[in-house]
Amino acid sequence: MEADLREERLSLALADCLDALNGAPDDVDAALGRYPDLEDELRRLLKVAAILRDNRPRMDPPPDSLQRIRERLKPYL
């Protein structure tokens, strides 16, 4: 039970840190400072999140895709 609560708290803290870092990506220490008891775990998870974010494939939709989508949705609007 206690482990479940810790995992839930860690999950919420991670989400909070990721949200904070979206606004100020260079302020990792400030984000982690809110959760000193979880700092080591959060720091590792944030490093993984940064690696995934920086290495995700960049996929740009084809230039005409927006127009095609609009055309397909017209009957429903």
At 10 the pLDDT is 92
Q: Which pLDDT band, with edges at 50, 70 and 90, does 14 fall under? A: very high
- DSSP state letters, 41-74: HHHHHHHHHHHHHHHSPP-PPPTTHHHHHHHHHG
Other CB atoms within 10 Å distance of the CB of residue 76: 5
At 33 the pLDDT is 92
Q: Please name the residue that has the structure tokens 């708290």.
A: 9
Task: Return the domain boundaries, the chain.
Answer: 2-76
Question: Per-residue pLDDT averaged across 46-74, rounded?
Answer: 82
> What is the overall mean pLDDT for the chain?
86
Question: Per-residue pLDDT averaged across 70-74, rounded?
Answer: 86
Q: Are 45 and 21 in contact, with CB atoms under 8 Å apart?
A: no
